Amino acid sequence: MPVIQTDDNAKIYYWTLGNGPLPLLFLHGWAGAGSGHSWRQVLPHLRLDRVRVIIVDQRGHGGSSAGSAPFTTDRLVEDVIAVADDAGATRFVNVAFSMSGKWAQALAVKYPGRLWGQILVAPVSLAAFAMPEEMARDWIRITRDRTLFGEFIHGFTKQKLPSETMDEYFHDASTTPEITLSETLGVCSREDLSSLKCEQPVKTLICAGAHDPMFTPETIQNAVGMTFSACHMEALDCGHELPIETPKELAALIENFVSTLPLQS
């Protein structure tokens, strides 16, 4: 598994699958891991002769270390660019789920020329996500108890998930350091970047859960549309956890988006 070392001594692991001409760079959500459950059910439904998948353990998650720099949106953006550079992805499609949707959007504003497009899956918006400190502490505490964690996640899904899926999710969450869980929640809640505007068009697909109790399709579309004019939304019959609730359907949307892109080299 390739690893890069950032200028603040974080070691960030990633790996690649497929030999297609178009790089897709996948970023997981809160309490997830690229090397864990996060995209595992989506990948088998992608045509790996058409794309090259780059999957990241973001700093402090999975096998990656946290480094010495504070967690900020800009720091996380630069991590993604460093991985893309190391993987030889001069231009790529960013595929970002939930919390990482925030820094994916910030990356698109800062580096629009690096992207063929972006796929935002139930993304956190660029605006500050209101979360009282007590709620953040509760979320982190829940990641240490399998029963509580299952109940917590099923509060965001349309239907109950298989036990095996929840076991994998809990493994990723429970092995993520509490400081990482706290800092990533902090990035989402304390940084208000809603004033950012993308000066160049970046083709954007929003994939939302029609029954998402946290981010409704309308809320997401309105928030993303304020920054990116070239955006289109598709809603799937699920809650917030699209990659594990509707992996086949999400993969189909990714495949369709890829097929509409121009030159892919």
pLDDT tens for each residue of the chain, 265 residues long: 899 999 999 999 999 999 999 999 999 999 999 999 999 999 999 999 999 999 999 999 999 999 999 999 999 999 999 999 999 999 999 999 999 999 999 999 999 999 999 999 999 999 999 899 999 999 999 999 999 999 999 999 999 999 999 999 999 999 999 999 999 999 999 999 999 999 999 999 999 999 999 999 999 999 999 999 989 999 999 999 999 999 999 999 999 999 999 854 4
**265 part of a folded domain:** no
User: Would 264 be classed as within a structural domain?
Assistant: no
Q: Under a CB-based contact definition with an 8 Å cutoff, are residues 158 and 245 in contact?
A: yes
Nearest alpha carbon to residue 110 among 128, 130, 86, 84: 84
Is residue 46 included in any domain, yes or no? Answer: yes
122 assigned to some structural domain: yes
- Reported in sequence order, the residue ranges of 104-230 that DSSP labels E, i.e. its strands, are 115-121, 204-209
> Does 237 map to a domain?
yes
The residues facing 87 across adjacent strands are none
Domain total in the chain: 1
How far apart (Å, rounded) are the C-alpha atoms in residues 101 and 97?
6
The confidence score (pLDDT) of residue 262 equals 81
The CATH number of residue 112's host domain is: 3.40.50.1820
For residue 76, give its domain range.
3-259
Strand spans (E) along the chain: 3-5, 11-17, 22-27, 51-56, 92-97, 115-121, 204-209, 231-236
Pair of tokens at residue 179? 């400081």
Q: Which positions ≥6 away from 129 have C-beta within 8 Å?
A: 102, 188, 189
**Has residue 228 been placed in a domain?**
yes
Asked if residue 137 lies in contact with residue 186, where contact means CB atoms within 8 angstroms, the answer is no
In-domain check, residue 251: yes
Within-domain flag for 200: yes
Torsion of CA 83, 85, 90, 92, to 10 degrees: 0
